[in-house]
Every structure is written in structure tokens, then in C-alpha cells.
Amino acid sequence: MSPTGEPLDRFLARRGQGSWAGVRQLIHRSRVQVDGVATRRYHQRLLGGERVEVDGVVVADGPDTTVLLCHKPAGLACSRDPDDIPLIYSIVPAALDHPDLHTCGRLDRSTTGLIVLTIDGAVTQRLTDPAGKRWKRYRVVFAGRLADDAVERVAAGMVLPDDGTCCRPARLREVDQQEGGGRCTLELCEGRYHQVKRMILALGARVEALHRDRIGSLELPADLAPGQMRAASAAELAALERDA
């Protein structure tokens, strides 16, 4: 728990007592007690060690599951729309599931790698706001040939021909191309629709496989096999928010 404490509604939401709206209803109806005293203050700060009860049943403290790290496998959509099944939410372990859980940004169905899920809108805002310039690194396998001036065009902020808008300056690195295709890394600090695929296309090649292996300073944790997710540690949270 942070030194400034955790608001009561968040404490309850991340321990599976309901969605944000649901736990606020509980608090509003005086069904929640802190150290034996009923409270109707959603934002009451808990500093750790308080006894929190809902309808007289103690809510156990546990690991903070507000932010989850996931190694997304190919084939799952980052969507809540039932028409898009199979969804990434199908692999959330029951103990970590929550009605407010959502992905911070999206990866395409075929894209693999690091994605963050959270119940905290402030975390989503910080990780996805282009003004925050959170860098993300993609490993790209492509077919065709990248233009000779690809590195410079990406660094200058290239225009996507299909919508005419200018991307933020980005980093194209480790380009290794032979006849008919190759590999590279592309680091972006924004997240437009199909951005990597569209940039690579504009540079003369076509993405065949895409894998995200870093957000901020956080590399995809080695203990996360494809399809696995777990709560982020405090150190991992700090690395997510810090740029490489």
C-alpha cells in the first residue's frame, strides 16, 4: 500500500467485492465498516492494518491486483464485444477477474506480447495518453524490403498515406533484411490503429508477425509464458511508468 494510503472504494474493488459502482453502493448503504465504524466516505484512505468488513464479514488484504501484466498469445481480441470472441478476458484467472478489468490500449488479434490490464482508469490514462510519450517496443518480422531511408523517415515523424496524418518521431532499429524479407524493431510513443503495420507498409514492406516486448522500461517478464497473466509488482509498476 502506498504511504498516502488507498481509497476505500479501490481497496474493496480490487479484492473482488464488486465493480467501482458496486462497491460505492455498498459504502453508500452503510454496509462497510472500518475498524468497527460504518463509513459512507468512498475516498477514506486506508494506511494498512485496518479491519474492513462488508456486512460484518472481514475483507482479507491480499496482493494488489489493480494492474495485471499479460503475455498475450495470438488469436485473442482485446475487446469486450461478444462478436469478437475469443477475447483476452477468456484467459483471466478467476481470482483476478473483475467487471471493470480492461486492457490499456489494444494489440491486434494476431499480435503477441506484453499488454497491461487494469481496473484503474488513471493507470490506463497514464499508459495510453500520447502526451505521456510512453515508449513501446515492437519486434517485427516483415516480407518485402524496407526503403533505404526508412530509419530517417521514421525518426523524422512519417506521414501515413492512408490518412495523411503525421506520426510522432519514432525509432526504427536493428534492421536486418535479406532478399524478400527481414526483421526490425520499431519503438513508438503513441498507439494509432494498426500503427506498426501501416508504418511498415508505408516503408515498402508488409508485417508478417508482430510481438511487443517492452512498455516504458518494463520488458515482458520472463516468467510469463504466452497466455499467462499476474499482478504487477511495485518495481514492475514503476518500470512501466519510466521510459527506457
Residues with a known catalytic role:
108
79 scored as a contact of ligand URA (CB under 6 A):
no
Based on CB atoms, which residue is closest to ligand URA, 24 or 197?
Answer: 197
146 scored as a contact of ligand URA (CB under 6 A):
no
Distance CA 83, CA 42 (A): 35
- CB-based contact 242:217 (threshold 8 Å): yes
In the complex, what is the shortest distance from the CB of residue 108 to ligand URA, in angstroms, rounded to a whole number? 4
In the complex, what is the shortest distance from the CB of residue 69 to ligand URA, in angstroms, rounded to a whole number? 17
Binding-residue pattern over the window 178 to 217 for ligand URA, x denoting contact by CB under 6 A: ----------------xxxx------------x-------
218 scored as a contact of ligand URA (CB under 6 A):
no
In the complex, what is the shortest distance from the CB of residue 138 to ligand URA, in angstroms, rounded to a whole number? 6
Based on CB atoms, which residue is closest to ligand URA, 146 or 210?
Answer: 210
In the complex, what is the shortest distance from the CB of residue 66 to ligand URA, in angstroms, rounded to a whole number? 24
172 scored as a contact of ligand URA (CB under 6 A):
no
158 scored as a contact of ligand URA (CB under 6 A):
no
108 scored as a contact of ligand URA (CB under 6 A):
yes
Based on CB atoms, which residue is closest to ligand URA, 59 or 224?
Answer: 224
**Interacting residues with ligand URA (CB under 6 A):** 107-108, 111, 194-197, 210
